[in-house]
Structure 1
Amino acid sequence: MTRQRYYTTQLQAGLGLLDETRQLLQLYQPGMAASQLYDAALASGRFPLVTARRLRNIVAECFAPRFLRDPEVIKQLKLLVERFTTAELNQLLFIYTARANLVLADFVREVYWARYSAGRNDLDLEDARTFVANSVREGKTQKPWSEITIKRISSYLMGCCADYGLLATTGRSQRSITAYRILPRVAAYLAYELKFSGLGDNQIVASPDWELFGLQHADVRDQLKRLSLQGLLIFQAASGVVHIGWTYKSMEELIDVIAQS
């Protein structure tokens, strides 16, 4: 039986933290615990404007839940931090941040892309507040949130989407929806990462991670077909059944190849 996941307020510890995350990935060494990474970050001198308390919070409450829960994830990101472009790395960080923060993932899937599909060009703070308030009423938090918490989380959702490039600022409480599309090398990484996490071919196509980029099943199939044309995998589909032939036998092998493309 799958344990229910509740929305948390963890985003209040930090939004995208893109520059900080890149620095921490560079500092990380295999086997480091969060406390060891914090010590290394503090001693590095890379965070001169961040207090020790704030740095500890960034490492323990933001970086660790997103990237340290699975040793394979941090190993792969460590390999890619200098090989992927900033835009590509940010998309990977977005995926892991959304996985660690269900409220963000659902907001992007259910509100952001719904607005985009409806032809709207903007998203405002009230859209986020309505989503959070409705989610609280639906029991998606372990205990009811106060109106102050609802407002804070609404603001964090908007800020996080802006950090990751889904929104651009147009006004004090309004943001414009950007043309956010998954980049080819990120798509290849995600497909293989899902495969090595143990998912079957049809489960990979149905993964909700693709929905973070507005991709439905047919869109995912098209994306995998493009990867097939690049020789990164072999994609076949007939009568609703998908078969994927995997060209590379490990994430490290894939990363070596796509980092040179």
Structure 2
Amino acid sequence: MSLLESWDRGEHTAETLRGTTATYATYRKGSGPGVVVIHEIPGLTPDVIAFGEEVVAAGFTVVMPHLFGRPEAGLSPLAVAGAMRQVCVSREFTKLATGETSPVAGWLRSLARELHTELGGPGVGALGMCFTGGFALAMMVDESVAAPVLCQPSVPFVPGRRRGADLNLSPADLGVVRERAAAGCQVLGLQYAGDPLTGTRFDTLAGEIGDAFLRVDLPGRRHSTVTTHRQQEAVDRVLAFFTERLS
């Protein structure tokens, strides 16, 4: 049985920040406030889908966009290599540039707006992980996103002190994030304290928005906080944050 068999497959078409039109598949399940869960590399793996199921079980409508990779493929070297090829040739994702917002953020903001318009309430949640970790922060620029969660954000790719501290946001978008945080929109961030891929981004974010940043540093040098190296504390903090901010 397919892991996505119980999910409703759809599509969303919208403009990216480059002004081009993009269409990506989406998978939807559940009821209650909306949450957009954005997969990591190599894609909608069984671990990502299992996390989506946990969010559904907690009482939320979950939409998982399929941005790259092959749905349900495991975390194998071949799957990672294939997804990296897609990411590297796509102009919708930034990889090394600093001070830039990934163009796909425009598409994700549109997806969040559509979900919020349909479901109502104070807004929707957005969670990104690893390569897409910073996308939730970029989505916060749109007022439809009331609960952004950053799981081990890893772009721009390190090494390099400047890249390791960069939030994958343009100066204009960072200004909006500051304004929304000052108005009461909190940001939850989760990482392993010894993870070399996340750089010093959490230090940067804490300096930019202060107490509006809720930081969770798990002990150890592992990476994927809610999937491959899942910690119950991390999942509990995410679900509690969504419940508090969206109910």
Q: TM-score, normalised by structure 1?
A: 0.31
Greater helix content: 1
Q: Which has the higher contact order (CA 8 A, sep 6+)?
A: 1
Larger Cα Rg: Structure 1 or Structure 2? 1
Greater strand content: 2
